[in-house]
Amino acid sequence: MADDAQAHAPGAPHRCAAPRNAQLRTPQPLPGLELLWSGSVPDHAEEAAAQRHLLDASESARLAALRWPQDRDAYAVAHVTLRRLLAEWLGQAPETVPLLREPCSHCGGPHGRPYVPDSGVHFSLSHTRGMVLIALASRPVGVDVETLLGTPAVDELTSQLHPDEAAELAVVPYEARPRAFARCWTRKEAVLKALGVGLNLEPALTYVGTGAQPAWQQAWLLADVATEPGYAAAVAVRRPDRDPGDHRPLRSLS
């Protein structure tokens, strides 16, 4: 992936020149998706460590509570970069961007979609060891990036998929299952994060498919995102013709 580039919807303002980032591409433009940022954690860890003062008290406490250095680095890169991107977009200092959470749309708890009050910008971030993915959008959005697992681990986790997805995965050649599973899981998490529920909603209830193309969704535009070898990523954005309260997945268990 190329450095110093951004992917944004046609006609969207090219506002975010920093921090250094990587070019990301989806198979087709997604209306409402303004920016996708991806970065390697080792490439950005030193810079993020020097800018941890930009984090608020809650973020700093969560960072300090992480046990492993790799997890602390990934968290710092993700949250420092998110603040810098939002600051560029909103025209204010990174440390002054107020990050709050909506009530969960599934249970009403205080762990729904993060948001910036009165800003009009929607965002989502995901990080795994080694990689960070961030999206800014004009409507609800979710992203997910995951490290590819080994086939034995995939076989253990297949029960968490929708029954139709599990059936699809069962006929995928053994060596190709990690990629197919990762495609499915990142699509699933992207939709659930865009919904504002995350894994508080049973993952098996939502069907997104394991094949080369995501399953069509009634309320969401869903696409895979090209990323570094060894990872899979996806993004979901609410359809422009859908009411904000219409978050139904394509298929669910009866």
Does the pLDDT of residue 42 top 60, yes or no? yes
In a domain, 54, yes or no: yes
**Better-predicted residue by pLDDT, 196 or 128:** 128
Q: What residue numbers bound the domain in which 224 lies?
A: 33-238
Cβ neighbours around 23 below 10 Å, total: 15
pLDDT band for position 250 (50/70/90)? very low
**String of DSSP letters for 66-91:** --SHHHHHHHHHHHHHHHHHHHHHHT
Placement of tokens 């050649």 in the chain: 173
Instruction: Give pLDDT, residue 7.
Output: 30
Least confident of 59-73, 93-107, 139-153: 93-107
**Ramachandran area for residue 103 (φ above 0: left; ψ -120 to 50: alpha; else beta):** beta
On whether residue 132 sits in a domain, the answer given is yes
Q: Is residue 246 part of a domain?
A: no
Higher pLDDT, 241 or 166: 166
Instruction: Phi first, then psi: give them for residue 207, nearest 5 degrees.
Output: -100, 120
Q: Are 210 and 154 in contact (CB under 8 A)?
A: no
Specify the pLDDT at position 54: 96
Does residue 231 lie within any of the structural domains?
yes
- CB 249: neighbour CB atoms within 10 A? 20
pLDDT of residue 13: 33
- Judge whether 101 lies within some domain: yes
The residue ranking higher by pLDDT, 83 or 120, is: 83
Determine the Cα–Cα distance for residues 168 and 176; give it in Å rounded to an integer: 12
Dihedral-angle region of residue 130 (phi above 0 means left; psi in -120 to 50 means alpha; beta otherwise): left
Residue 103 lies in a domain: yes
Q: What is the CATH number of the domain that holds 118?
A: 3.90.470.20
Residue 10 lies in a domain: no
What's at 76, amino acid-wise? A
Residue 112 pLDDT > 70? no
What does residue 136 show for φ and ψ, rounded to 5 degrees?
-115, 140
Q: Is the dihedral of CA 61, 73, 101, 146 positive or negative?
A: negative
Q: How many domains, the chain?
A: 1
pLDDT at 181: 97
Q: 3-class SS at 37?
A: strand
Does residue 53 belong to any structural domain of this protein?
yes
- How confident is the model at residue 5, as a pLDDT? 26
Region of 109 on the Ramachandran plot (φ > 0 left; ψ -120 to 50 alpha; else beta): beta
